[in-house]
Amino acid sequence: MEVKVKVQDLLSYEGDALVVNLFEGVKQPGGATGAADKALAGAISAAIRRQEFRGKLHERLLLYTFGRLPVLQVLVIGLGKQEECGVDRIRSASAEALRHLRQAGARRVGSIVHGAGAGGIEASQASRAVTEGALLGLYRFGKYRRASEDGERALTQLTLLERDRSKISSLEEGVRVGRILAEATIFARDMVNEPANALTPSELAARAKKMASGLGLTFKTLERADMKRLGMGALLGVAQGSEHPPKLIVVSYRGAKGKGKGPRLGLVGKGITFDSGGISIKPSEGMESMKGDMAGGAAVLGAIKGIAELRLPVDVTAIVPATENLPSGTAQRPGDIVKTMSGKTIEVINTDAEGRLILADALSYACDVGVTHLVDVATLTGACVVALGSVRTGAFANDRELMRRVQEASEASGEKLWELPLDDEYGEQIKSDYADMKNVGGRKAGAITAAKLLANFVGKTPWVHLDIAGTSQAEKDHGYCPKGATGAMVRTLVALATGFAGSKRK
């Protein structure tokens, strides 16, 4: 969809529909909404008086203009309470409004810049939020479907209307950044939504290579022989049950000026392109969703795409250990012991706890190539879903400063997280009688014990682990996350890199 900014009075816009807004509790609309109300002979005010519309967040009032305006329809979107207005509410309201208009048949829509007026949000931030929300909210993965039988049309153009010419450059910059962030997230969503017969480890590597090539990034893959040479026994152990060869995907962006100066951010993402559980096979119900067990890998690839397109002055390396986890005559067995790249050994108690195994080697590799700060993203544990549901991502850290940076980035992006502890006592649960550690620690604190295992492979490198098992998929349309893959943590990681780029602190 095209998003553009135009110097124009709202009421003169010629398209299919207009979008204005209202805060909860407002009895008499003012500003652009008041102007639209006047043009519509008080139809908005009348709906408020009849309590048909109260301005609650995501509440919608669709009115036909009957020739009073050049457009066919005017949609009033509720923004909720004015004191609670923020950029994430603007993203969400923009998404809900445009999805509603698409369903109503609109193709060309004009909109005020939500939040830039009474909402008190700076112009570029508001236009960025509207753009992000619009593009992310209208996302659909229709690659394998024929044309929709209900005739739903695509919304092709969004025009942000502003009368003050002095604000145009700020608004256009916001649109530019919002598009980059949305498209980076969509890049990740598309991969997560792909079926596993299409997105194999090799295809994941191919898509990463194509993306890297288009942006001038450094790309390489480590093959099975390379993994053997480096001693990546944990990654190879998971991969041995599949006919598809594993890949360790490495994409590097060099944005900092001066070789070796400044922080070098490492992003590691779990890339299990299908997870059956291996010999410890999962229940068949819902197993089809395990095509998305590479959402962490998709997130870090989407993030480095966005970072490169924004040309941030920071060095970033994205690493994705990619493989399938399948049962076969060659598959890893419960009771096997694998030796990791670090030399530490892990007893495999449950082959369905494979993500932490492949990440163990990938984290060691990241430290080996010299990153100074490390964040991994993984659909790692069902225990995190039990603890936090689908609202917040679980976060774990060995460094207070890096955790603070990640928290600030998540707040700026509207991607909620919650830090969980890593007390030493939890490490007792993963002690093994036969190896340095075992890959599961029982039913208690499952998300924490998984993170405790990963902590063994980062050394003293500042590190944050993000468990997106509950947030990588949306069960229904809500705000700017339609049903399916969410692209969780792409925008947070870009915001984290932006913070590093704008700060001399390490």
- What end-to-end distance do the CA atoms of the chain give, in Å? 39
Element at 497 (helix H, strand E): helix 490-501
Amino acid at 152: E
Residues 6+ apart with CB under 8 A from 8: 110, 159, 161, 162, 163
Ramachandran category for residue 42: left, alpha or beta (phi over 0 → left; psi -120 to 50 → alpha): left
Q: Are strands 218-222 and 247-254 parallel, antiparallel or unpaired?
A: antiparallel
CA 367, chain centre distance (Å)? 24
CB 290 within 8 A of CB 324: no
Is residue 301 within 8 Å of 269, Cβ to Cβ?
yes
162 SS3 class = strand
Place of tokens 């225990």: 383
Q: Could you give the residue numbers annotated as active site?
A: 282, 356
CA distance 256 to 445: 40
Q: Which CA distances in Å does 89 have to 81, 200, 300? A: 10, 37, 25
Alpha helices by DSSP H, 79-167? 87-103, 123-137
